[in-house]
Structure 1
Amino acid sequence: MTVDDTRQKLEVSAEEAGQRLDRFLTAHLPDLSRSRLKALIEDGHLQVDGATIMQPSARVKQGQRLELHVPEAAPALPEGEAIPLDILFEDEHLLVLNKPAGLVVHPAPGNMTGTLVNALIAHCGDSLKGIGGIKRPGIVHRLDKDTSGVMVVAKTEAVHKALVDAFAKRDLERRYLALVWGLPAPSSGRIEGNIGRSPRNRKKMAVVTSGGREAATRYRVLESLAQGTAALVECKLETGRTHQIRVHMTEAGYPLIGDPLYGRASQARMRALTAAAQSAVKAFPRQALHAASLGFRHPASCECLEFATELPSDIQALKDSLEAL
């Protein structure tokens, strides 16, 4: 049975008697999240033996017949906008894109237009089946506004749920490329440290001694630049915390070049660069971080997919200026 039908009809077996309504429905309708099913019940969309039941915690009884009305997805609140997208892969279930730097992922107060979500609503149109009852793309993971690179987006609630679960279970691989200050030693390793809101600056994240969330980043130096003043580093995430790579590399003593929050260069490092490289660093408008590849199992086809992109032109130009030393 699929959630494309507007009405779902179920009957309670002897083995299922005594379960909560929301748990019973979740087991039978895996394409809908438990929170979505709970909302449908509370909104009066469930009938049990012809009577409307609005308590998700009510217990089912053997032989009861349930009919759940699943309304069509409501129009998305953000408006679609014709913003060019670099699509790497697309089918009826999901799409993968190469997000440019400067593009905000999700609308927020004061920034309701010009986002990736606005662009996806226009691009996908009726192929969006609805997430949580709203016809919108399912953002599985986010990249900071000024981080470029590969993202996957779900078109259906079932695929969104499966991909979110895969991220939570770390059942995928994400690889980032970054230009950092200094030459990390050892040349490869694992950085650990719980990440939480900085107690000194609430706009920043930090490695904290108490609280926060577990975080781990594996790194590997790919190339020494400017005679060790900088480096091209590959980072792989074991967890996905806010600003994780930026925070962990800074904590290790190798902040990202151009990072406005965490990556301020020391005067000694700047003096070690050529005049041209100094100018390139000063003019670089963002953190030098690119989500270079993403690998995951397609929730519908079970095919293993991997998508990789080259360094964007601005980071490549900055790297070239550092190599020229």
Structure 2
Amino acid sequence: MHADTFSRTFTVEEAASACDTLAGLTGLPKARIKDCMVKGGVWWSRPGRSTTRLRRASTEVKPGERLEINYDPALLALVPAQPELIAKAKHYSIWNKPAGVLSQGTRFADHCTLPRLAQAKLGSRNELHPVHRLDREARGIMLLAHDGKAAAKLGELFRQGAVAKEYAAIVRGIPDWTDLEVDEPLDGKEARSRFHVIQSDPASDMTLLLARIETGRKHQIRRHLHGLGHPVMGDPRYGRGNKLVEGLQLMARSLAFTCPFTNAPKQWAVPDLPFPLVD
């Protein structure tokens, strides 16, 4: 973290605007407080209510309420890549998430998350809800619900295994198999992945795979492929000899389900990863 990074919680002692209160308590300029608030680094706790992000600088806070500020100037300075809208329905939308964009925010910020970026692109007053996750370093299709009720309905599809997701990955090495199912547990929980070889390139010693997962453990595809000795190229966490300046070569390439609002079958896909990679 940046040397000036901090996280502090204060109990409000006198009524004032949130911005003025935090500026007085932290010594930060009001412009920096406002920037931190807009980007999701300030949280507001009131008696009898759940803690929420506080974005409006002029909001009046009262004695006994609590303000939490999480300030990281390096994080706040980040400018995220913009997502692409693939399809929009009444209750949800489908997006192509760029690498580097988060699925969900942290206590410090949410301006680099897909829901916030998508909300701005749609011009929506309501916050959007991620129904599933995709690693920050990965790219590809993600589903966002437009309200809490839609998120619950769509989330149930995932819990029931009624959503078909397919991933593409470029890995190091040439597998000696064409199709393989892996059921190696992860973090003490069952984890099942299926892999299918699309194309190998002996010149670069790389292979393009399709992956399907029946469970959703953290970094499941990346960890299973690493365990097989074929780590994903560009993975900053798993594997050796797989570094790549282009970044992680893992993409959520397709998504399909029966819409719970119309009962119509839906399917979306993004273009495949370029292969073989060109220097």
- TM-score interval w.r.t. the shorter chain? 0.5 to 0.7
Q: Which has the higher strand share?
A: 2
Kindly provide the CA deviation profile for residues 202-221 of structure 1, in whole angstroms up to 9, marking residues without a partner as x. xxxxxxxxxx2211011100
Is the radius of gyration larger for structure 1 or structure 2?
A: 1
CA distance in 1, matches of 2:224, 2:197: 15
Match of 1:108 in 2: 106
Cα offsets for 1:174-198 (capped at 9, x unmatched): 11000011122321011112111xx
Q: Distance in 1 between matches of 2:262 and 2:163?
A: 16
Q: Contact conserved, 2:174 with 2:202, CA < 8 A, in 1?
A: no
The SS at the match of 1:234 is strand
Partner of 2:245: 283
Secondary structure, in 3 states, of the residue corresponding to 1:321?
Answer: coil
Q: Which 5+ residue runs of structure 1 have no aligned equivalent?
A: 1-42, 45-73, 129-135, 197-211, 267-280
Partner of 1:99: 97
**How far, CA to CA, are the matches of 1:78 and 1:146 in structure 2?**
27
2:120 to 114, 119, 122: 122
2:140 pairs, out of 149, 158, 165, with 149
Cα deviation per residue 1:72-119 (whole Å; 9 max; x = unaligned)? Answer: xx997568x997431111122000011111112222133432321221
Q: Is the 8 A contact 1:83 1:119 kept in 2?
A: no
Secondary structure class of the residue paired with 1:219:
strand
In structure 2, the partner of 1:224 is 200
Q: Structure 2: how far apart are the matches of 1:139 and 1:171?
A: 17
Shift of residue 157 of structure 1? 2.1
Any idea what SS the aligned residue of 1:121 has? helix
Q: Which has the higher helix share?
A: 1
Instruction: Structure 2 unaligned segments of length 5 or more: list them.
Output: 1-47, 57-78
TM-score with structure 1 length normalisation? Answer: 0.58
Partner amino acid for 1:298?
A: C
Shift of 1:255: 0.7
Which of these residues, 262, 265, 278, is aligned with residue 241 of structure 2?
A: 265
* Count, aligned residues: 209
Within the candidate set 277, 287, 298, 2:259 is matched to: 298
Corresponding residue of 1:307: 268
Q: Structure 1 residue 127: deviation in Å?
A: 6.4
Q: 1: CA distance between counterparts of 2:80 and 2:250?
A: 26
Alpha carbons 1:78, 1:112 under 8 Å: kept: no
Q: Give the match for residue 161 of structure 2.
A: 170
Q: Measure the CA separation in 2 of the matches of 1:263 and 1:83.
A: 26
2:97–2:140 CA contact under 8 A, matched in 1: yes
1:105-142 alpha-carbon deviations (Å, 9 max, x no partner): 222133432321221332344463xxxxxxx2121111
Q: Which 4+ residue blocks in structure 1 deviate beyond 4 angstroms?
A: 74-79
Q: Which residue of 2 aligns with 1:244?
A: 220
Residue pair 1:181, 1:231 contacting (<8 A) in 2 also: yes
**Normalized against structure 2, the TM-score is what?**
0.67
Measure, in 1, the Cα distance between the counterparts of 2:53 and 2:144.
16
Aligned counterparts of 1:90 and 1:141: Cα–Cα separation in 2: 17
Contact residue 103 and residue 145 of structure 1 kept, 8 A: yes
How far, CA to CA, are the matches of 2:262 and 2:244 in structure 1? 46
